[in-house]
Amino acid sequence: MSLSLVDTLQTPRSIWRSASRWLARRMPKGLFARSLLIVVAPMLLLQAFVVLFFMDRYWQLVTYRLSAALTQDIAAIIDIHKNLPNAADEDTLERIAGDRMGLDIEFLPKQSLPPALPKPFFSLLDSALSTEISRQIGRPFWIDTVGRSSLIEIRILLDDGVLRIMTRRSAAYASNSHIFILWMVGTSSLLLLVAILFLRNQIRPILRLVRAAEDFGKGRFVEFRPGGAREVRQAGFAFIEMKRRIDRAIEQRTAMLNGVSHDLRTILTRFKLSLALIGEGPDSKAMEQDIDEMQRMLEAYLAFARGDSGEPAAPTDMRRLLQDLKRDAERHGHATGIELSGDPTVTVRPDAFKRCVANLVANAQRHGDRIALQAVRDGRFLTIHVDDDGPGIPPDKREDVFRPFFRLDEARNQDEGGTGLGLAIARDVARAHGGDITLADSPLGGLRATVRVPV
Ligand SMILES: Nc1ncnc2c1ncn2[C@@H]1O[C@H](COP(=O)(O)OP(=O)(O)OP(=O)(O)O)[C@@H](O)[C@H]1O
Ligand SMILES: [Mg+2]
């Protein structure tokens, strides 16, 4: 019982939901098109209603009244004609009708009426006149409301002939529909034009904000001045404030790290100096190695903590970058292949990006023998695959290895002296460019690390 109640309650809601989903799918996606639709749709609807309910009624009424008046004149002429004392007075009647009623009439000899014409598409005038003639005159008639555009012709069968009446179409018909439609289309087009210009101006500052935020996300320099409507300007100022705060945080971090690294390096150098002064010995050899290791680790930590702060983006030749890495890997005895497709010049932060790819290549060197580097640049992305033929990383560990200081090698009992920061740094750089790094199986049998950044 309660279930069926819930069912009936949900039915209209689910109908509403699916209807709105249907509408959302068919609505244009862009803000410009949507706003335009919001402006144009009510305008068109309003005009349709006005034409349908008001103008249509109005035209009908006026046309019926005019037709009735015209028919009255014709009826009067027929009555007078019937009672004319002699046939010569027909000329007088024709003259009076022409001068006073605007009717060009002619009494034709006895003949039959032409066959009826097909009904015109807009038959308002035709039907109004036909109704009135049948009602007021009640004789056989023939009308032509289409033939000559500005005139209408009526023929009425009299007892002893045919009365032919020619008159202006406007005498019987409120016939300004084309002007009205012209006005409607004209004003609508004008309104549409104004709406397009106005909306475009409103949307431009939003697009500029979008572009600035995108550039900032990709780590590029952004010159941005808020503009447009108040809310958009507010969003723009909020963005600038956010950017300023992020820049300041990065600056502070860099300054602090520079201080730390300088101080620690000084101490390490002092250590080394003291060791050198003590002279060669079995202990000093081990201590020297420790100091070297410490220095290496310190550099790695600092590089990680520093990130890629402050480096401006610049067009960078990926072919050169990959060739440098290949040369380096080959120097260490690894067979390395390069493949490159698409425009090789990509705007990135050169040093940071090289560090990112180099970290991946260093991993491939450490774990595999053969290495393959493959760069693909399409319209939107630069994708670099670094493949090796090493042991790979099991799928359930592929997220863990990105954590700073996380190393699988310790578990694998092959201490190669890494700090576990390489992938963390690489991902940091890729994300600062608005992209990311993913790990997968390589066609070479080992790991495939993929950097993908928007260009
Ligand atoms: N190509 C690879 N094949 C197999 N395992 C890998 C590969 N690359 C990374 N790993 C595993 O992921 C772990 C994390 O890698 P990451 O580069 O972050 O650190 P690292 O190489 O150990 O040290 P660092 O790069 O800082 O010298 C590594 O310890 C290693 O176990
Ligand atoms: Mg590494």
Q: Is residue 380 part of a domain?
A: yes
Distance CA(403)–CA(69), nearest Å, equals: 94
Q: Name the band, by pLDDT with cuts 50, 70 and 90, for residue 1.
A: very low
Indicate the residue among 116, 141, 175 that finishes a domain: 175
Which of the residue ranges 239-253, 298-312, 398-412 would you say has the lowest mean pLDDT?
298-312
Distance CA(224)–CA(243), nearest Å, equals: 11
In the predicted structure, residue 9 carries a pLDDT above the cut 60:
no
Can you read off the two tokens belonging to residue 141?
Answer: 């008639």
Alpha carbon of 415 to ligand 1 centroid (Å): 11
Alpha carbon of 411 to ligand 1 centroid (Å): 12
* pLDDT recorded at residue 8: 53
Closest residue by Cα to residue 163 from 145, 147, 139: 139
CATH of the domain at 112: 3.30.450.300
Pairwise pLDDT comparison (413 vs 453), residue with the higher score: 453
* pLDDT recorded at residue 176: 63
In this structure, the residue with its CA closest to atom 1 of ligand 1 is: 364
The fraction of the chain above a pLDDT of 90, given in percent, is: 38
Q: Ligand 1 within 6 A of 300 CB?
A: yes
Strand 141-144 relative to strand 436-441: parallel, antiparallel, unpaired? Answer: unpaired
* pLDDT recorded at residue 39: 84
Model confidence, pTM: 0.57
Q: What is the DSSP string of 232-277?
A: HHHHHHHHHHHHHHHHHHHHHHHHHHHHHHHHHHHHHHHHHHHHHH
* pLDDT recorded at residue 419: 80
In the predicted structure, residue 351 carries a pLDDT above the cut 80:
yes
* Residues, beta carbon < 5 Å, ion ligand 2: 363, 422
In the predicted structure, residue 311 carries a pLDDT above the cut 50:
yes
Closest residue by Cα to residue 141 from 75, 61, 60: 75
Closest residue by Cα to residue 439 from 428, 429, 425, 452: 452
Q: Name the band, by pLDDT with cuts 50, 70 and 90, for residue 313.
A: confident
Q: Is residue 255 part of a domain?
A: no
pLDDT, tens only, 160-217: 889 999 988 887 776 566 677 788 889 888 988 998 999 889 899 999 999 999 888 8
Q: What is the DSSP string of 122-168?
A: S-HHHHHHHHHHHHHT-S-EEEESSSSTTEEEEEEE-SSSEEEEEEE
Q: Ligand 1 within 6 A of 421 CB?
A: yes
Alpha carbon of 291 to ligand 2 centroid (Å): 21
pLDDT, tens only, 76-115: 999 998 887 777 788 888 899 999 888 999 988 888 888 8
Cα→Cα distances 166→11, 98, 143, Å: 65, 10, 10
The mean per-residue pLDDT over the stretch 254-278 comes to 86
Q: Is residue 293 part of a domain?
A: no
Which of the residue ranges 260-264, 334-338, 416-420, 442-446 would you say has the lowest mean pLDDT?
416-420
The fraction of the chain above a pLDDT of 70, given in percent, is: 92
Residue in the structure block whose two tokens are 């900032």: 216
Q: Put the strands of the sheet holding 104-108 in their side by side order.
A: 104-108, 162-168, 151-157, 141-144
Indicate the residue among 175, 205, 232 that finishes a domain: 175
Q: Name the band, by pLDDT with cuts 50, 70 and 90, for residue 254.
A: confident
Position in ligand 1 atom list of the atom nearest CA 300: 26
Mean pLDDT, the chain, integer = 86
* pLDDT recorded at residue 414: 56
In the predicted structure, residue 363 carries a pLDDT above the cut 90:
yes
Alpha carbon of 110 to ligand 1 centroid (Å): 113
Q: Which residues, in sequence order, are CB contacts of 6 under 8 Å at separation 6+?
A: none
* Radius of gyration of the CA atoms of the chain, in A: 45
Q: What is the DSSP string of 284-353?
A: HHHHHHHHHHHHHHHHHHHHHHHTTTTPPPEEEEHHHHHHHHHHHHHHTT--EEEEEES--EEEE-HHHH
The mean per-residue pLDDT over the stretch 242-264 comes to 87
* pLDDT recorded at residue 416: 60
CATH of the domain at 448: 3.30.565.10
The mean per-residue pLDDT over the stretch 389-396 comes to 93
Can you read off the two tokens belonging to residue 16?
Answer: 């509403």
Q: Is residue 48 part of a domain?
A: no
* pLDDT recorded at residue 437: 96
Q: Is residue 421 part of a domain?
A: yes
- Among all bound ligands, the one having the nearest atom to the CA of 390 is 1
In the predicted structure, residue 417 carries a pLDDT above the cut 60:
yes
The mean per-residue pLDDT over the stretch 126-152 comes to 85
Angle, CA 402 vertex, CA 250 and CA 389 arms, to 5°: 130
Q: Name the band, by pLDDT with cuts 50, 70 and 90, for residue 428.
A: confident
List for the chain the helix, strand, coil content (%; round to 5).
60, 15, 25
Domain containing 345 equals: 312-454
Alpha carbon of 247 to ligand 2 centroid (Å): 28
The count of structural domains within the chain is: 2
The mean per-residue pLDDT over the stretch 291-309 comes to 76
Q: Is residue 15 part of a domain?
A: no
In the predicted structure, residue 415 carries a pLDDT above the cut 60:
no
pLDDT, tens only, 28-73: 888 888 888 888 888 888 888 887 787 778 888 888 899 999 999 9
* pLDDT recorded at residue 165: 93
Q: Is 429 exposed, middle or buried (0-12, 13-18, 19+ CB in 10 A)?
A: buried
Can you read off the two tokens belonging to residue 108?
Answer: 């034709």
* pLDDT recorded at residue 2: 47
- Among all bound ligands, the one having the nearest atom to the CA of 304 is 1
- Among all bound ligands, the one having the nearest atom to the CA of 420 is 1
Q: Is residue 185 part of a domain?
A: no
Q: Is residue 306 part of a domain?
A: no
Torsional class of 420: left (φ above 0), alpha (ψ -120 to 50), beta (otherwise): left
* pLDDT recorded at residue 375: 94
Indicate the residue among 118, 144, 175 that finishes a domain: 175
